[in-house]
């Protein structure tokens, strides 16, 4: 597991990987060249200064996160809210952000559905949390498995961003305007199944991986004619100028917990639990709990096209919509619920909706999902 603090990220990789001995001298593998000596000496001194500063300043909270621009934006949002809520955390160096590379970040040449289920973007961060290498973990909730590792809790969801999907294209204003045979890039089976259900003449490129900026570049360079991205991520990265159109919930039901940020800590760490619980947005937490109960009942993973969305209507009731589909979009099962916006009722709604779709689709449908090409 590779862990890099933002302080270390400021040091060149060659220096970060054993370029300074215990006494501050270059190791034997660095050859002496007079022309480069001054530059290396300055770099060495700077690196030593950073290391000494890190040793003398003890952070009160170490935030673990992935290193993508979106993950870092979410970590910074968490940091800023902690600083605003707790004066002692506003001191310089009180909060440190630690970047952790996950399995999902390392394997970029295969579709997500081919390399495993949930936990691809959280496992290594959870391990760092349990090992005491970080104090809290910031996750995109749609990446978090429906079970939490023993010894961890997730008592906080930040206020949810816009849950809708954004359509991005240089050649069409909507999915409906794309010519037959056009390629839509998406690593999501959920999006693929709903696209093909409505527009079977289109093609979906599933090995469309990379961070938000990488996917936008692929569209600009013509690798695909369009893509769909979570509007929440584009907003957090201030990249909404790339949006061609926003899909309604009727057009594209979002992923379970899309747009929600979750913050976890060790279950026996009362201090951290109190810190992050103070940031919790209860309306978001309840909606996410409802959706995750639905997902858990369906035993969903990255290999199953599932969508679920819970929200509060104008009268204060919970409205839930759920979907399960075949990857090719030829079979789609949907359901909806309405009930009280109370945790127990909403979890029951999510479970009941999941049981209904299990019954309607039948065991053969889910057996075929496991065998279907992705």
Judge whether 294 and 308 are in contact, CB under 8 Å. Answer: yes
Bin 151: left if φ > 0, else alpha if -120 < ψ < 50, else beta. Answer: left
CA 265 to centroid of chain Cα atoms: 17
The tokens describing 371, both together, are 């065998």
What residues contact 158, with CB distance under 8 A and at least 6 apart? 77, 78, 81, 260, 261, 263, 279, 280, 281, 284
Tell me if residue 313 falls in helix, strand or coil: coil
Q: What's the order of all strands across the beta sheet hosting 183-185?
A: 203-205, 183-185, 226-230, 165-169, 245-246
Q: Which is nearest to 100 in space by CA: 70, 73, 126?
A: 126
Judge whether 307 and 253 are in contact, CB under 8 Å. Answer: yes
What residues contact 373, with CB distance under 8 A and at least 6 apart? 327
Beta strands in 238-346 (DSSP E): 245-246, 261-266, 306-312, 317-325, 332-340
Q: Which of 135, 143, 165, 269 is catalytic?
A: 143
Judge whether 175 and 183 are in contact, CB under 8 Å. Answer: no
Instruction: Indicate if 250 belongs to the active site.
Output: no
Q: Which are the catalytic amino acids?
A: 143
């Amino acid at each position: 597991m590779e862990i890099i603090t933002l302080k270390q990220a400021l040091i060149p990789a060659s220096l970060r990987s054993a370029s300074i001995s215990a006494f501050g001298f270059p190791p034997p593998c660095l050859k002496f060249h007079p022309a480069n000596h001054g530059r290396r000496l300055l770099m060495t001194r700077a690196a030593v200064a950073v290391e000494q500063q890190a040793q003398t300043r003890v952070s009160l909270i170490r935030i673990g996160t992935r290193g993508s621009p979106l993950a870092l934006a979410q970590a910074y949002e968490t940091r800023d809210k902690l600083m605003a809520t707790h004066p002692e955390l506003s001191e310089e160096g009180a909060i440190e952000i630690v970047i952790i590379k996950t399995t999902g970040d390392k394997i970029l040449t295969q579709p997500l559905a081919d390399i495993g289920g949930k936990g691809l973007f959280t496992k290594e961060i959870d391990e760092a949390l349990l090992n005491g290498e970080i104090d809290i973990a910031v996750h995109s909730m749609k990446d978090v498995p429906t079970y939490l590792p023993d010894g961890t809790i997730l008592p906080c969801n930040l206020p949810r961003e816009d849950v809708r999907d954004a359509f991005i294209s240089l050649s069409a204003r909507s999915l409906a305007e794309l010519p037959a045979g056009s390629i839509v890039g998406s690593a999501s089976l959920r999006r693929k199944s709903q696209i093909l259900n409505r527009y079977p003449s289109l093609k979906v490129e599933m090995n469309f991986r990379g961070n938000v900026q990488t996917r936008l570049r692929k569209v600009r360079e013509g690798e695909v004619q369009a893509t769909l991205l979570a509007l929440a991520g584009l907003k957090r990265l201030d990249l909404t100028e790339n949006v061609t159109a926003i899909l309604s919930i009727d057009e594209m039901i979002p992923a379970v917990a899309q747009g929600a940020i979750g913050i976890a800590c060790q279950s026996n760490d009362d201090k951290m639990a109190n810190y992050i619980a103070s940031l919790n947005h209860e309306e978001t937490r309840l909606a996410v709990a409802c959706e995750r109960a639905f997902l858990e009942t369906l035993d969903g993973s990255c290999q199953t096209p599932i969508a679920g969305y819970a929200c509060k209507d104008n009268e204060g009731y919970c409205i839930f919509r759920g979907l399960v589909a075949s990857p090719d979009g030829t079979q789609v099962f949907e359901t909806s619920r309405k009930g009280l916006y109370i945790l127990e009722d909403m979890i029951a709604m999510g479970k009941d909706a999941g049981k209904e779709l299990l019954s309607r689709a039948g065991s053969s449908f889910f057996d075929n999902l496991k065998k279907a090409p992705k």
